[in-house]
Amino acid sequence: MNADQRYLATIGMLTAGLTVGWLFATIAYADLGYTTYRLSIPFAGDLALIGLLNSVSVLAGGLISPFLWQLVRQIGARPAMIGGCLLHGLALLGLSLAPPASALSPLTAWLLLGCVALSGPASVLFTLAGPPLMMQLSGANGPDRLFARSAALSLIINGLGSLLSGSLTTVWRLLPVEGDALTAYRLNAVSGVVLVMLAGVPLLGLPVRPPPTVPTGTRRSQISDLWQAIRYGLAFVPGPLLISLGAALFIPYLGLFFRQRFTASDAMIGLILALISLATGLATLAGPYLAKRVGRMSGVVLTQALAIPCLIALAFAPSLPVAAAIAMVRGMLMNMATPLFDAQALAQAPAHHHPTIIGMIRAAATVGYIAGPTISAELQSSAGFAPIFLIAALCYTAAVVVNAVIFVIGKSKQATL
C-alpha cells in the first residue's frame, strides 16, 4: 500500500473500533446501574455516575488541549496519532471491565472515570494529528482529495459500524459464553479495543516528511510564534463556533426526535442514522470537484447555505420518511465541504502551526456542546423540537454570513485592490 492507503487504513480501523466499542456505552452504563449510583465530587456534590461518564472525556480533552497542541508540534503528527490509538484502546478496555453498581466502591468508580477520561485526550490527539499528517502525505495534487477521502471513509465506516455493532450484540448472545446480560456489550468493547490498538500499525514506518521544525529561542520569541499561529487561526473560528451552537441543540437528540415525533422503532432509528452517515460520506467525496468549480471557501459557504432550509423543513416535517430524507440531505450538505474548510485553514500556514490552528477549529466546534444539550432538553420539555430546529437555522445562517464575509467577500475585495 502507498502512504495514502496506509493512512486511510488507519482511519478505517480506528473509526470501526470506536463505533463498535462505544455505540452502546450509555445503554451499558444504565444496565450496570450507574443511573442511581452517585459519586461525591468536590465543590459539586453527589452526581450520577452515568452523567459523569458521559461528560468526563470532553472535560479531560478540553483541559489538556493546550498542552497537546504543543506536544504535537514537538513530536510530530504520526507519533501523536499512534499515541491516540493506544490511549483510546485503554479507555475502551476500562469500559469492558466496568463492574455493576453493586460492586462499585468510590475508588473503583474513580478508576473507571479515569479510564474513560483517557478517550478525551485521545480524541484530541486524533483531531490535532490527522489534518497535519494528511498535509504531509499530500502530493502534487494538493490536500483536497485525501482530506475528502478520509472524511468520507470515516462517515461511511461509522454508518456501517453502527449496523455492525447492533448485529454483533445479537451474535454474542447466541454464542455459548457464560456471563451476565452485559456480556454482549463487553465483547463489543473488547472488539473495539483490538481494532483501535491495531489502527496504529499501518502508520509504523510510514514515509512522511520530518516533523516541522519548531522555532526555538527565548521564551518571548516562542510566545510570539504561538501568537502568530493563533492570529492566523482566529479567522477560522467564528464559523465552527456558530455552527456548534446550533448543532448542539439537535444533533444529540436526532434519534429522540424520530422517536417522539414519529414513534420510530429502535431498528428504524438505527437504520436512518446509518444511512445519514453513509450518504454524508459519499457526498464528501464530491468536495474536491466542488472546490475546483467554485473554490474551497465558496464551496463551504454554498453547501452550508443550502443546508439551512433543511433545518426549517425538519421543524415541520409531516412524516418519518420525509423527515429522514431531509435529515439525510442536511447531513450531506453540511458536512461535504468540511474537509475543504480544514484544508484551507492549513494550506497557507507554516507546518509547525498546523496543530495549533486545527486545535482552535476543533475547540470552537465543541463549545456549543458544553451547554447546548442541556438547553435543548429544557426547550423540548416546554416547546418541542420545532423551535430547536429554527434556532439552529439562525445559528447556521449567522455562520454562513460570517464565512462569506471573511473568506468570499473579503477575498474578492483584496483581489481588486
Q: Are residues 185 and 224 in the same domain?
A: no
Q: Which residues contact 255 (CB under 8 A, 6 or more apart)?
A: 269, 272, 273
Query: Is 177 found in the same domain as 299?
Result: no
Determine contact, residues 11/153, Cβ cutoff 8 Å: yes
- pLDDT given for residue 417 in this prediction: 43
pLDDT in tens, the chain (417 residues): 788 889 999 999 999 999 888 877 777 787 888 878 888 888 777 877 877 787 788 778 888 888 887 888 888 889 999 999 999 999 999 988 888 888 888 899 999 999 999 998 999 898 888 888 888 887 655 677 888 888 888 888 988 887 777 677 667 766 665 555 578 788 888 999 999 999 999 999 887 766 555 555 566 666 777 788 888 888 999 999 999 999 988 887 887 788 889 988 766 877 888 888 888 888 888 888 888 888 889 999 999 999 999 999 999 999 999 999 999 999 999 888 788 888 888 887 887 788 788 888 888 888 887 777 767 877 887 888 899 999 999 999 999 999 999 988 866 554 444
222 shares its domain with 205: no
Residue showing cell 456534590: 45
pTM of the shown model:
0.72
Phi, psi torsion values for 24, nearest 5 degrees: -105, 20
Of the candidates 97, 395, 58, the residue with the CA atom closest to the CA atom of residue 244: 395
Among 65, 216, 207, 57, smallest CA distance to 129 is for: 65
Residues 182 and 254 in one domain: no
Q: What is the full DSSP assignment across 6-35? A: HHHHHHHHHHHHHHHHHTTHHHHHHHTTTT
Distances (CA, A) of 379 to 99, 320, 375, 376: 35, 22, 6, 5
Whether 206 and 238 share a structural domain: no
Rounded to whole angstroms, what are the CA distances from 339 to 105, 152, 248?
A: 45, 9, 20
**Residue 40, SS3?**
strand
Partners of 47 in the β-ladder: 39
Structure letter (DSSP) for residue 385: S
Q: How far is CA 103 from CA 145, 155, 185, 234, in A?
A: 50, 38, 18, 48
| Domain match, 102 and 204 both | yes
Distances (CA, A) of 277 to 20, 350, 382: 15, 33, 30
Q: Within this chain, do residues 257 and 291 fall inside the same structural domain, yes or no?
A: yes
Cβ within 8 Å of residue 298, ≥6 positions away? 408
Total domain count, the chain: 2
Domain boundary among 211, 231, 252: 211
Give, as one character, the DSSP assignment of residue 42.
T
Domain around 48:
1-211
Counted residue by residue, the chain has a size of: 417
Do residues 184 and 73 share a domain?
A: yes
Cβ-contact 58, 119 below 8 angstroms: no
Same domain, 169 and 22: yes
Q: At 341, is the secondary structure helix, strand, or coil?
A: helix
Instruction: Quickly list DSSP for 371-407.
Output: HHHHHHHHHHHHH-SHHHHHHHHHHHHHHHHHHIIII
CA 356, CA 232: separation in Å to the nearest integer? 10
Statement to judge: residues 195 and 230 lie in one domain: no
Residue 131 CA, chain-centre distance (Å), reads: 13
Q: The CATH number of the domain where 149 resides is what?
A: 1.20.1250.20
Helix, strand, coil proportions of the chain in percent (round to 5)? 80, 0, 15
Stretch (H or E) spanning 39: strand 38-41
Domain end, chosen from 211, 228, 252, is at 211
Which residues make Cβ contacts (< 8 Å) with residue 83, sequence separation at least 6? 125
